[in-house]
Amino acid sequence: MSEDVFNGFGVIIIRRSGKLYIQYDAGELSIRYQEAEISDEEAAKAQRSERDAYEVLIACQSDGRQIVDLPR
């Protein structure tokens, strides 16, 4: 079961099975949502501002962590 933690700045942060995940639109031609696991610190940062949320997304995409495509 998922619990919404935050929805804003173009991201959704959820808690599922005790872990935090950030969901976002991958920004391609059509809408395609993706999800990556994040830390408590990254979740707090993503909630501060649009720029901070963007920095968390860039970190997720560049540090080799698993990014999952979400079903439509």
SS3 assignment for 8-42: ECCEEEEEECCEEEEEEECCCCCCCEEEEEECHHH
- Strand duo 33-38 + 19-25: pairing: antiparallel
Kindly report, residue by residue over 28-65, the tens digit of the pLDDT.
Answer: 788 999 999 999 999 999 999 999 999 999 999 999 99
| CA 45 – CA 72 distance, rounded (Å) | 27
Residues in a beta bridge with 15? 3, 20
Structure confidence by residue, pLDDT tens digits, 5-20: 999 999 999 999 999 9
Residue 40's pLDDT is what? Answer: 98
Give the pLDDT score at 72. 79
4 has a pLDDT exceeding 80: yes
